[in-house]
Structure 1
Amino acid sequence: MKSAGFLAAVVWLLGMPAVSHAGAIADPAALKHRLEALVQGKDGRVGICAQDQKGTAVCVRGEERFSLQSVVKLIAGAAVFDAADRGLTDLKEPIVVKPENLSLSVQPLAKIVEREGVFRTNADDLVRRAIVDSDSAAVDILIERLGGPAKVDQFAEGKGILGIRVDRDERHLQTETVGLRWKPDYVDAKVLQKAMKAVPEAERDAAFEAYQKDPRDTATPRAMTEFLAALMNGKLLSTGSTQKLLAIMAETVTFPDRLRAGTGEGWAVAHKTGTSRTWKGVNVATNDVGILTAPDGGKIAVAVFVADSRETPTQRSAIIAGAAQAVTEAYR
C-alpha cells in the first residue's frame, strides 16, 4: 500500500489540481501570530510568506526586499522552460561547456570539465543541475543563452510578478559582494581565492555593506510566493513544463534542514535554497522557497528569507524549518 506522502507527490508531479476536499490555511490570523512569535528576538530580519491554492496569503515582512542568492536559479530555470514553451529555445540542443564557461563557488560542473576537458550537455540538464545541485556554472550558461539577466527579470515581470529583480549572473554578483569585479581568470578557484584575500579589509567591509542595502537581485517574500503560487496553480508555465520543474525541485539536495525539516509525515516538498557568504559573523541571506504538498493533495507556496543575521547556520535553518512547521500545522 502506498504512503500518503507518495500519493501526494504523485498528485503534483502529474500536475493535477488539488482534489476538491483539499484543505487550506484554516486561520490566517493565528498563523500570522505564530510566525511573528517565531521570528521575535531573532538576530537580523526574517521575511516569510505562505499562500494556499485558494489565494489566502499570510506574510511577515512580506513587502521588504531580501537577497535571492541561489533562489535565482529557480527563476532562471523557469525562464528557460518558458522560452521553450514559446518555441524560442530547444531544450535538447547540444551545449558544450568549456573551462571558460565556468563560474565560481558551488559548481560541480567544474570537476567534470577539469576531468574531461569539456562537457557535452543541453539546457534540460543544466536546469536540473542549477536547481538540484545549485550549480553556478549551469545557471550562468543558461542566463547567457537567454540573453542576459534582463531576460530573466522580464520573464517574471511578464507573468505579472513585480517584486522580483534579477540584475546579475552569479559571476558578477558573487565577485562584487566581496569587493572584486569579475575577470575570466576567476574561473580558476585558486586565482579567485587569491584575489579575494588581496582585497583590503576596508574595501571588503564597504562591499559587504553595499550588498546589504542593494535592491538588485532581490525579491519580496510576497512576490516570491506569488511566483511559486503561479507555478503550483499551472499559471506560470505549460502543463508539461510545470510537471518537469516541480519534479526537478523535488530532487533538491541542498540544505534538507530548512523547509524539509519542518514538514510532517505525508507532506512532499519541492524547493530551492539560497545562501550567501558570511562576513565578520553576519550572514546576508539564508533562504528556502518552495511548494509544500499536503497528504490530501493541496498545496501551499512558502518563501522564507533570513537576512543580516548573526545566528549560527543551524539556528537560521531552524527558523526556516519552524516556519514550514507553522504553515503545515495551520493547514486544515
Structure 2
Amino acid sequence: MLNAVQGLGGGFAGSVGIAVRDIDEGWLISFNGAAALPQQSVSKLWVAIAVMDAVDRGALSLSDPVTVRRSDLTVFHQPIRALVGPDGYKTNVRALLEGAMTRSDNTCNDVLLWKVGGPTAIRAMLARKHIEGVTFGPGERELQARTAGLTWRPEWAGGWGFLQARAKLSFEARDKALRRYLAAPYDGASAQGVTLGLSLLARGTLLSPASSAHLIGLMRASRTGPARMRAGLKPGWALAHKTGTGQDLGNMTTGYNDVGILTAPDGHRYAVAVMIASTRVSIPVRQRLMANVVRAVIRTRN
C-alpha cells in the first residue's frame, strides 16, 4: 500500500498530496501528506461540520428558515442562483446544507458560513475539535477574488461582474496572483490533516451520532466528481466524499481535489485525500490518479 501511494504520487506530473488513514486501525500513509495545499470546495466540509455542531448545541436547527437574497450570491457554481428572485428565495438550513454538500453550491455554503459566525467561527471549531493541519480561508467570494488578483466588490454578487473584471486582467497579473496563492494557500490544508478530520467525523467524536450520520449521508449522496475517487470503487464498497476544483489559467489547473470516507463491504473504513495543488495534465489523467488511489486501498482488503 505504501509503495502504491508513493508510486502514484511520484509518478504524477504536478504538485499533489495523498493520504490514506485507516479509521479503525489508526495507521497512516501518505505522499507529500504534510504540505499545505489549496482546498477549494473541500472546505465546505468544515462549514458543514460547524453547522451540525451548532445543531447539536441547540444554536441552530435544520428547519430554521433562511431567505437567500441576490446580495448573497457568490461566484462560479451556484445552482441556487436560478431560484433567487427580486424578493429572494425562501428555504431552510437543511436544504442549504444539502445544496452545499451534494451539489457543491457556493452560495448555499457561503450563506451557511456566515450563519454560523463566518471564517473566525470555523477556525475556532477546527481548533476546538483538534483538527490539525487544516486552515480555513476568507469565504468563497474573497478567496476567488484574491486568487485571481482582485479585491471583491459587493456589486459582483452573482459572478458576472467578477468574471468580467478577471477577464480584463493581464495574463502576467493573474499568473502572479495564482503563484502567490499556490505558495501559501489562503485555504490551505494538508492531505494528512483532511484525513484526520474525516477520521474524527467517522468515529463520531466531532458530532452527535445523529448529526454524524446526517452529514456522512449527504456526502454519500454527493453528485459531484463521479469520475474521481468514486470511479475506483468495486461492488460493495461505498464512498462519502467532497470534491474541490479551483481556477484555471492557461493550461494549468489548481485545487483539483477529492477527499472522503471509504467503506469496505465488511464495514472497515479509510479516510482518503487526493489533493492536486497544480498540474497541466488533462482531466482524465487527474481523475485516473484519484481512482487509482482508491483501487490501491481496495487491494489491501483482497
* Fold-level similarity (TM above 0.5): yes
Deviations 1:250-279 (CA, angstroms, capped at 9, x unpaired):
111111111110111110111000011111
1:106 matched residue in structure 2: 77
Structure 2 distance, partners of 1:190, 1:162, is: 36
Deviation at 1:181, TM superposition (A): 1.0
**Mean alpha-carbon deviation: is it higher for 59-68 or for 197-206?**
197-206
2:237 matched residue in structure 1: 267
Please show how residues 236-255 of structure 1 align to structure 2 within 5 Å: 236-255=206-225
Structure 2 distance, partners of 1:41, 1:60, is: 11
Say whether residues 1:143 and 2:113 are aligned partners: yes
Deviation at 1:225, TM superposition (A): 0.3
Q: Is the contact made by 2:9 and 2:18 (CA closer than 8 Å) also made in structure 1?
A: no
Deviation at 1:152, TM superposition (A): 0.8
Please show how residues 128-167 of structure 1 align to structure 2 within 5 Å: 128-167=98-137
TM-score, normalised by the number of residues in structure 2: 0.96
Say whether residues 1:308 and 2:278 are aligned partners: yes
1:63 matched residue in structure 2: 34
2:20 matched residue in structure 1: 50
Please show how residues 130-279 of structure 1 align to structure 2 within 5 Å: 130-279=100-249
SS of match in other structure, 2:59: coil
Deviations 1:166-209 (CA, angstroms, capped at 9, x unpaired):
02100110111111111111124332221111123322121111
Identity %: 35
Structure 2 distance, partners of 1:160, 1:60, is: 22
Residue 229 of structure 1 aligns with an amino acid whose one-letter code is S
Deviation at 1:117, TM superposition (A): 4.3
Residue 54 of structure 1 aligns with an amino acid whose one-letter code is E
Q: Is the contact made by 1:150 and 1:167 (CA closer than 8 Å) also made in structure 2?
A: no
Q: Which residue of 279, 287, 291 maps to 2:261?
A: 291
1:89 matched residue in structure 2: 60
Distance verdict in 2 for CA 1:41–1:54, change over 3 Å: closer
Q: Is the contact made by 1:221 and 1:304 (CA closer than 8 Å) also made in structure 2?
A: yes
Deviations 1:265-315 (CA, angstroms, capped at 9, x unpaired):
110111000011111211121100001111111111111111211111111
Q: Is the contact made by 2:20 and 2:271 (CA closer than 8 Å) also made in structure 1?
A: yes
Residue 88 of structure 2 aligns with an amino acid whose one-letter code is V
Residue 61 of structure 2 aligns with an amino acid whose one-letter code is D
SS of match in other structure, 1:195: helix
**Mean alpha-carbon deviation: is it higher for 265-274 or for 151-160?**
151-160
Q: Is the contact made by 1:273 and 1:287 (CA closer than 8 Å) also made in structure 2?
A: yes
Which runs of 5 or more structure 1 residues have no equivalent in the other structure? 1-30
1:25 matched residue in structure 2: none
SS of match in other structure, 2:222: coil
Deviation at 1:98, TM superposition (A): 1.0
Residue 77 of structure 1 aligns with an amino acid whose one-letter code is A
Q: Which residue of 312, 323, 326 maps to 2:293?
A: 323
Q: Is the contact made by 1:66 and 1:285 (CA closer than 8 Å) also made in structure 2?
A: yes
Structure 2 distance, partners of 1:41, 1:147, is: 42
Residue 76 of structure 2 aligns with an amino acid whose one-letter code is S
Deviations 1:105-152 (CA, angstroms, capped at 9, x unpaired):
1000101114x7421111121111111010000111111111111111
Distance verdict in 2 for CA 1:74–1:183, change over 3 Å: same
Structure 1 distance, partners of 2:171, 2:202, is: 45
Q: Is the contact made by 2:229 and 2:290 (CA closer than 8 Å) also made in structure 1?
A: yes
Structure 2 distance, partners of 1:117, 1:43, is: 48
Q: How many residues get paired?
A: 301
Structure 2 distance, partners of 1:215, 1:103, is: 20
SS of match in other structure, 1:174: helix
Structure 2 distance, partners of 1:327, 1:46, is: 18
- Runs (4+) of structure 1 exceeding 4 A deviation are none
TM-score, normalised by the number of residues in structure 1: 0.88
Say whether residues 1:123 and 2:109 are aligned partners: no
Deviation at 1:80, TM superposition (A): 0.6
Q: Is the contact made by 2:253 and 2:280 (CA closer than 8 Å) also made in structure 1?
A: yes
SS of match in other structure, 2:273: strand
Deviations 1:16-61 (CA, angstroms, capped at 9, x unpaired):
xxxxxxxxxxxxxxx1101111222321122111112111111111
